[in-house]
Structure 1
């Protein structure tokens, strides 16, 4: 039996329009925006309420230390780079990392991609100046184009529809890969084909051999392997562009609750987590599991107020706090937040983003990170939770399945000169495939010790 939408609930979904909405573009054509958002409100949902509910259950398990979240993918997806190969390689990288974490730490891993919607990016300035010319900043392919020309930088509402269709294509491929046999755990060796030979891959192959041996034993003992053939894989992105998120919100016919059907999991960024702002208001009204990025300026009062607004009843799995402090600050700043939230008593899933607090510009002009700093922040995250008696529930990383050279260090010893070889990101630097595997092995050791 279907539940009719509550008019007050529907009206509340638009309350954000009365509040300050930061990091939104200035659309030059209101009529074109209305036409695009009207069409978005009519298209099929990208994900379904039941899937979001399932993810909330899993995140609740992560908050109790019964599972671990692995969330990874591009800093910013682009329309031009959408291909079956790139999607497959990102999924393969996340699956390989998850196998290492699961087998290495005897821990179920929740697999989530920063995929199928990560098209909008916050910027530190509304404009960008090159060679004396000032244009609107590039805010992601869902809004404008990266090319530095006046026409390319004009926000175009038709890109909302293009982002929707590209997200649908990505989700279709994700479901095909994860449900159609590609993710079968008995193929762990096959996932390594096509990648170069180096220490991380050799270590992974040794792991895969151990898994093969364990599976052969289980088969001889008569175990049922149906559970090994497919994996659950969830989508996520920053819920930044409210003119995209609101039209894709649907009322669930079973419960009457609204869900943002652009992704299973949405997060509010460090730049848009104002308690009286549009983003916090909007996401307080949808029933997806929600994340919030917490940077170095976050106070205990901020965290508790976010809990009051986004999860007042303390539903397990509803709210995830993603710390992004920087390797040099996490051990000093995170303990107070963790202790304050612990004292409150309402459940929160704690996740570490070790990427965004560790960026700098190299001597030759590239925005980059040190792999050692990334790992040190994760290590500090585990140390803080171990000292507080709380649960380190997951990892949120920017990565790609390609052999890019964007983050310094790792066993490849990428140096500043190497950044010039394959620096492909348009916004933030990502771990490449090998660095991602290296991270998985190191985090598995941390999980064993936590």
Structure 2
């Protein structure tokens, strides 16, 4: 294991040349809606720029330091949440259940990996989604595609599907509500390790994994009480955890509106989220999204798919992290269970050979989407599991480190992904399929993934 990052690991690096929050407008921008009223759009962006930020620069820099630690093998990243948030989903029950399942997963990972876990939620801003086509046709009617609640509505009507810039203000408000509630829960002791049993969802007892999880919870409780008995006082910092937000920074006008300079810091920060990422469909080297991302100081993610070549990846790394700053760049690979063994090794070898400092994370969800015979978009748990297991093995073989996982999941009792602990079948999908875009793991399947990570890491650490 390499040494710790030096004290100046967050040093001032060279400012990007000829960059401003709006410089992306001079590049080709994909996956953006066409707003019919330019004046309304400009008025909305001015209002958005005046609204308070959702996160702070010191939170962003704290996350960057923790990602730098993960690059050194000192932390593990758990990134998870909804495929696409909806305005209607901004409720106390949905938010608290999502927080509970992420806490449950992180408890399993901390206990099994013996590492601090960095919790990054796909929430408080994940309102935009890329689409494969700009329009959708039903019968004789063609309308703009639904691009997430921050752009338009899912109902197939002219009024709903017309992009409305005022939705950006509503997205900011919903994100603020979500963050405020999450922070209140955490500050109020919701994440207290003295009482991890409080995190159980109401139906956890029905899970085939319940006994294993409860045994783990009891073990952690015993360990905490043992430490406090020895010290004669309560162990500090067990009653709260850090939580960070993330979303795909797809709607660039919205991101620009929350990009600011702050006192006593150099450079620009995207203050709509701690950890924005670039999706596969917008990662063109000369495109608007890469141009925008190269100028912000946030730690950033880059989705890497099976079509990316080693040379392409190295060139994007050069643009996004030219100074090789620790904690700056996370590569989130998503290859599919059938493609990862063929596509990933050359990328790992190229980045390692060039000595680029990145964090590798596996997204085993997006490459494994399929449609069933009864018309549902789903993912098979066995394929998700397979891609994740192969990722650990391929990194071990390449001498690189898999430092995290990126999952679409929910704390709701949905039936959207096939298989898992209860062996959900195609006939189960219609029972509780609630996603408006992509299928998500339910809490049982998410917990099973956490346990799988622990077992797989243990196998790699102690080979037969």
TM-score range, shorter chain: over 0.9
Whole-angstrom CA distance in 1 between matches of 2:189 and 2:371: 42
Secondary structure of the corresponding residue to residue 229 of structure 1: coil
State yes or no: 1:437 paired with 2:447. yes
Question: Cα–Cα, structure 1 residues 328 and 87, in superposed 2: closer, same or farther, change >3 Å?
Answer: same
Are 1:160 and 2:165 an aligned pair? no
Counterpart secondary structure, 2:417: coil
Which residue is 2:275 aligned to?
265
Q: Residue in 1 aligned with 2:134?
A: 126
| Distance 1:117-1:284 versus aligned 2 partners, 3 A rule | same
Give unmatched runs, 5+ long, in structure 1: 1-6
CA distance in 2, matches of 1:249, 1:179: 27
Q: CA offsets per residue over residues 131-177 of structure 1, 9 Å max, x none?
A: 33211100000000001111100000000000000000000011111
Alignment of 1:21-420 (within 5 A): 21-196=29-204, 197-222=206-231, 224-420=234-430
Aligned-partner SS, 1:47: coil
CA RMSD between the two structures: 1.4
Q: Please, what TM-score do these two structures have when normalized by structure 2?
A: 0.94
- How many residues matched? 445
Name the SS of the counterpart of 2:244 in structure 1.
strand
Question: Contact 1:251/1:258 (CA < 8 Å) preserved in 2?
Answer: yes
1:252 Cα deviation after fit: 2.0
**Aligned counterpart, 1:4:** none
Separation in 2 of the partners of 1:94 and 1:198?
16
| 1:449 CA displacement | 3.1
Task: Report how far residue 240 of structure 1 moved.
Answer: 0.3
Give me the whole-angstrom Cα distance separating, in 1, the residues matched to 2:329 and 2:312. 14
Partners of 1:97 and 1:365 in 2: CA distance: 31
Aligned partners of 1:105 and 1:445 also within 8 Å: no
Label 1:40 to 1:324 Cα distance change in 2 as closer, same or farther (>3 A). Answer: same
SS in 2 for 1:226: coil
Secondary structure of 1:397 counterpart: strand
Q: Measure, in 2, the Cα distance between the counterparts of 1:167 and 1:116.
A: 4
For structure 2, which runs of at least 5 residues remain unmatched after alignment? 1-14
Any conservation in 1 of the 2:16–2:294 contact (CA below 8 Å)?
no
Aligned 8 A contact 2:100 2:201 in 1: no
CA contact (8 A) 1:320 1:349 kept: yes
Could you tell me how far apart the structure 1 residues matched to 2:281 and 2:451 are? 32
Q: Secondary structure of 1:217's partner?
A: helix
Q: How far off its partner does 1:308 sit?
A: 0.6
The two structures have a TM-score, normalised by structure 1, of 0.97
